[in-house]
Amino acid sequence: MMRALYEAAPGRPELHLPYRRAALQFMDWQLRRGLLNTMDGDAPGSPWWRAVNERLLHDTAEARGQVMGLGGPLTSWSASCCLDFARKPSAKTWYRAHNASIVAAYLEHRALAEGESRAERFFINVILVRVLFAHTLVAAPRLALSWSWPFGPVLGDPRLAFTGIFVSLSRVMPDRYPLRRDLQWYLDNEQRFGRVLDRGMIQPRLGLLHGWSAAQLSIPELATLVHDRVPTYAWDPNDAEPWNEVAHGLARAAYTVLPPPSSPR
């Protein structure tokens, strides 16, 4: 369905196809993990992940319908962001549309997230901060990369393969759902790049990142999902230890070389 939603109507230019890579890459990972399996099968999926994906599909379908002249009022702000992308595709409008749908789904389905394991909830937060960070690469590169900001639009371009390294958890989490090990096991086996990205680059920027994203997406509640550099979506802010592990080696170097700005730009 997602593949079809990015295809142009007959006789229209294929302006949206280059952006389909990023949309499908993340969904393919979820399918491989079994997150989107039916709930009545031998290996049930995740109610939370299924709900988030339903919002993505729904908003994208609404936008496509509007562009094709099917009419009818839009049902949400996130769907209107998707319509902006559909009418004028670009890296910036794609991220705004994608992240507006993601954040809206997060906020709407917080109760379902509370039912996930501690390890799953940790990585649900990691996914959120990574997609927010990927948006800044193209729309606020100085916030993301400090003095090396000219590289941001290329590294974050959803039409290119680079983007996957910022949002993929395929080398951190096992291929099947649910997670059955303690969270610390996954942290101890985290891919080196993931540790550098999360500890050295994203976490020092969390307050700025959430504030900037809340303004860009016009979703003020997003700014409340972090406390003292601890993401707090379906997560107790007092459970800070997994987020406050001492950064080592390359993570410390990344923070030193690419410090967060005093204010987002």
Query: First-to-last CA distance in the chain?
Result: 36
**Residue corresponding to tokens 């990344």:** 254
Which one-letter DSSP state was computed for residue 199? I
Pick the residue with more confidence: 87 or 251?
87
| Mean pLDDT in residue range 128-135 | 93
Residue 69 neighbours by CB distance under 10 Å:
7
Lowest average pLDDT, out of 39-48, 83-92, 188-197, 203-212, goes to 188-197
Burial-class residue 21 by CB neighbours within 10 Å (0-12, 13-18, 19+).
middle
Is pTM, for the whole model, over 0.75? yes
Domain regions of the chain by residue span = 2-257
Tokens found for residue 119: 């390890």
Q: Residues with Cβ < 8 Å from 105, sequence gap 6 or more?
A: 51, 52, 54, 55, 56
Pairing verdict, β 230-231 and 226-227: antiparallel
Pick the residue with more confidence: 58 or 165?
58
Whether residue 244 is predicted with pLDDT greater than 80 in this model: the reply is yes
Whether residue 69 is predicted with pLDDT greater than 60 in this model: the reply is yes
Pick the residue with more confidence: 52 or 68?
52
| Mean pLDDT in residue range 106-112 | 98
Residue 168, pLDDT score: 60
Whether residue 170 is predicted with pLDDT greater than 70 in this model: the reply is no
Pick the residue with more confidence: 168 or 72?
72
Residue 235 and residue 125 in contact, taking contact as beta carbons nearer than 8 Å:
yes
Pick the residue with more confidence: 161 or 188?
188
Residue 43 neighbours by CB distance under 10 Å:
10
What whole-number distance in Å separates Cα of residue 106 and Cα of residue 230?
17
Residue 171, pLDDT score: 58
- Residue 143 C-beta-side C-alpha neighbours within 13 Å: 23
| Mean pLDDT in residue range 15-29 | 88
In degrees and rounded to multiples of 5, residue 214 shows phi and psi of -60, -40
| Mean pLDDT in residue range 133-142 | 95
Whether residue 257 is predicted with pLDDT greater than 90 in this model: the reply is no
Mean pLDDT over each residue of the chain, to the nearest integer: 89
Residue 264, pLDDT score: 56
| Mean pLDDT in residue range 25-43 | 91
Whether residue 252 is predicted with pLDDT greater than 90 in this model: the reply is no
